[in-house]
């Protein structure tokens, strides 16, 4: 019975690529090749759009409920069972609202903003392998595509902020440009580690490598993962770096003037970009759709989505906990802290891979050693560099207030008396 399910026939739903492949095979017998090509891309795109929209709706509910739990309140619980239909109601409300364009706005650019931000957010998923046969476009430069397409949202955000003709929007747009350009570099360097290790930019190969060596790059590249998670938070404007739309400072940043479904596009694009970051982390660092053999029994796309949502949950958690950084602090963090560390990390990984390839070392020994070296060296590097920049222990410890009985005394500048 088990072997029957493991053959991977067209009806095998562990990989949704199988039934689609079966269908395409049948079409191929009766129709010209281009029909197969068009049908395949339509199915893939439709599937991704459907999944993206549904996941967004689900995560709007999950995020609101989870943050509500963190904040001692209930969250949406009135529309539908346990408030499940709340995102649907919100989406309907956004659809039915009047699409206002401010009189002073640049009309065409104002419209272009939400579209330009939404399309790349979806296009990123084209190269993500959801399962062994579930990649819409298995590009050999998948990692490059990932970075390039995700980078398109920078001009889109700037178009939105500039065309609104609103000062808050302009401030938000300026902040976004500065932030995204800085963190794009960090992101590239963070993704370079796994690519160097594997020697391929095809995302399928990256997953296959991790499956073959039975390890996750997460264990071999901890510093890269941390940097990528943080850069991802910046890229998708999520807390603690939601500076571009800092609600308490510049109202809503670049989308201050947007309402109705145009705002809905921004809102959804933000979630999709978050999923894209989580998908990249899952694929490059956490073994993609594989789970140490369990993918033979559990559908690989369920494993992949489970990992993706787990990573995305980190961002929700951070949103419920952390305050926001200031723009100059965020920039300083990128250029002074993360960039040198990532450069050194890239150098170290390159050297390690070189030694591994040149010498006759068994894979297990090599990977174990690389993992241990990277972990301890990375920890030493992060702590040492932080100390060097003056963030040593002691300064972060919050000082409590002095207590005194003496009315009228002045304690300004007084040192801590224990």
Nearest one of 330, 228, 329, 230 to 285, comparing CA atoms = 228
Determine which residue in the list 321, 336, 351, 355 makes contact with another protein, applying CB under 8 A: 321
Distance between CA atoms of 68 and 155, rounded to whole angstroms? 34
Distance between CA atoms of 168 and 62, rounded to whole angstroms? 30
> Under the criterion CB under 8 A, does residue 404 sit at the interface with another protein?
yes
Which range binds another protein by CB under 8 A, 118-126, 144-152, 240-248, 271-279? 240-248
> Under the criterion CB under 8 A, does residue 249 sit at the interface with another protein?
yes
Nearest one of 376, 377, 392, 388 to 337, comparing CA atoms = 388
User: To the nearest whole angstrom, how small is the minimum distance from the Cβ of residue 329 to another protein?
Assistant: 6
User: To the nearest whole angstrom, how small is the minimum distance from the Cβ of residue 53 to another protein?
Assistant: 25
User: To the nearest whole angstrom, how small is the minimum distance from the Cβ of residue 294 to another protein?
Assistant: 36
> Under the criterion CB under 8 A, does residue 402 sit at the interface with another protein?
yes
> Under the criterion CB under 8 A, does residue 418 sit at the interface with another protein?
no
Determine which residue in the list 48, 105, 171, 217 makes contact with another protein, applying CB under 8 A: 171
Q: 354 with 198: CB under 8 angstroms?
A: no
Determine which residue in the list 56, 146, 227, 246 makes contact with another protein, applying CB under 8 A: 246
Helices 153-163 and 260-285, interaxial angle, to 10°?
Answer: 160
Determine which residue in the list 81, 323, 390, 394 makes contact with another protein, applying CB under 8 A: 323
Determine which residue in the list 143, 250, 277, 334 makes contact with another protein, applying CB under 8 A: 250
User: To the nearest whole angstrom, how small is the minimum distance from the Cβ of residue 378 to another protein?
Assistant: 19
Sequence-distant (6+) residues with CB within 8 A of 219 are 371, 375
User: To the nearest whole angstrom, how small is the minimum distance from the Cβ of residue 210 to another protein?
Assistant: 33
User: To the nearest whole angstrom, how small is the minimum distance from the Cβ of residue 25 to another protein?
Assistant: 50
- Long-range contacts at 243-251 (CB < 8 A, ≥ 24 apart): 243/175, 243/179, 243/324, 243/325, 243/326, 243/327, 243/330, 244/157, 244/172, 244/173, 244/175, 244/176, 244/179, 245/172, 246/172, 246/324, 248/324, 250/168, 250/171, 250/172, 250/175, 251/168
> Under the criterion CB under 8 A, does residue 322 sit at the interface with another protein?
yes
For the chain, the residue count is 418
> Under the criterion CB under 8 A, does residue 401 sit at the interface with another protein?
yes
Q: Segment 326-345, which members bind another protein (CB under 8 A)?
A: 326-329
């Amino acid at each position: 019975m088990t072997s029957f399910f493991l053959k991977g026939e067209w009806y095998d739903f562990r990989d949704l690529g199988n039934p689609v492949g079966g269908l395409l095979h049948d079409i191929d017998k009766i129709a010209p090749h281009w029909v197969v090509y068009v049908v395949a891309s339509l199915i893939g795109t439709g599937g991704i759009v459907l999944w993206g929209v549904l996941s967004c709706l689900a995560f709007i509910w999950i995020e609101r409920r989870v943050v509500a739990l963190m904040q001692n309140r209930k969250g949406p619980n009135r529309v539908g069972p346990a408030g499940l239909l709340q995102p649907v109601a919100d989406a309907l409300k956004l659809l039915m609202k009047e699409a206002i364009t401010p009189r002073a706005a640049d009309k065409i650019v104002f419209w272009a903003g939400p579209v330009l931000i939404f399309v790349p957010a979806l296009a990123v998923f084209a190269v993500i392998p959801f399962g062994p046969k579930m990649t819409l476009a298995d590009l050999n430069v998948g990692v490059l595509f990932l970075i390039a397409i995700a980078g398109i949202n920078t001009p889109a955000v700037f178009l939105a902020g500039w065309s609104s003709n609103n000062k808050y929007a302009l401030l938000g747009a300026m902040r976004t440009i500065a932030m995204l350009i800085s963190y794009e570099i960090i992101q590239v360097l963070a993704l370079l580690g796994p690519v160097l290790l594997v020697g391929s930019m095809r995302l399928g190969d990256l997953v296959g490598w991790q499956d073959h060596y039975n390890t996750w790059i997460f264990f071999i590249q901890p510093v890269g993962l941390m940097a990528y998670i943080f850069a991802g938070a910046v890229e998708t404007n999520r807390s603690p770096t939601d500076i571009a739309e800092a609600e308490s400072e510049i109202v809503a940043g670049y989308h201050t003037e947007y309402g109705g479904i145009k705002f809905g596009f921004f809102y959804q694009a933000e979630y999709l970009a978050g999923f894209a970051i989580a998908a990249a982390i899952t694929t490059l660092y956490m073994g993609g759709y594989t789970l140490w053999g369990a993918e033979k029994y559990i559908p690989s796309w369920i494993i992949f989505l489970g990992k993706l949502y787990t990573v995305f949950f980190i961002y929700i958690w951070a949103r419920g906990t952390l305050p926001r950084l200031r723009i100059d602090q965020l920039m300083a963090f990128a250029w002074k802290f993360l960039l040198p560390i990532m450069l050194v990390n890239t150098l170290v990984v390159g050297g390690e891979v070189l030694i591994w390839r040149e010498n006759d070392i068994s894979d297990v020994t090599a990977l174990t050693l690389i993992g241990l070296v990277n972990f301890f060296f990375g920890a030493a590097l992060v702590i040492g560099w932080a100390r060097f920049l003056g963030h040593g222990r002691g300064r972060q410890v919050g000082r409590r207030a002095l207590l005194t009985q003496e009315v009228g005394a002045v304690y300004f500048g007084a040192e801590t008396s224990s």
